[in-house]
Homo-oligomer: A and B are copies of this chain.
């Protein structure tokens, strides 16, 4: 078990977008889907404005000594099932390559679990690609079950 270095978890700001996109792209699956250019394509900033205005979406970053080294998006979704309890969806969890195995992903996910509880959720869900075996082991350690099939359709 690696030592845990506590990081600050805070809402992402517009000037974090570049760093977040770099983390999303630094990945065998994400690399093919992102466009890293300088300046970054404006679609990223439009998306940031959209999610920053949505009270049910929180994009947070992990910051360590002023550097953004991780991110996570949490959506709190109203719904009728489970007696009308909201559910939480975790997306886009990333830790910068040089900062892995330091417990940063765990701090991000634990933040999300605490936030989901505080918002009255009774269920937290996420999809992780079949190939991300380490991620599945990580989430199981945090209490998740591989209970569902995650199905996707890309346009």
Residues of A within 8 A of B (CB): 17, 20-21, 24, 30, 33-35, 41, 43-48, 50-51, 54, 56-57, 59, 73, 75, 77-87, 89, 91-92, 113, 116-117, 121-130, 136, 139-140, 142-155
Contact = CB atoms under 8 A, between A and B. Distances in A.
A80 B151 contact: no
Q: How many copies does the complex hold?
A: 2
B17 A80 contact: yes
A17 B84 CA distance: 10
A153 B73 contact: no
Given A43-B83, A80-B47, A149 B152 contact: no
State the majority secondary structure of interface residues on A. mixed
B130 A85 contact: no
Contact of A79 (B92, B143, B145): B92
Nearest to A122: B155
Given A56-B56, A150-B149, A83 B127 contact: no
A78 B50 contact: yes
A56 B54 contact: yes
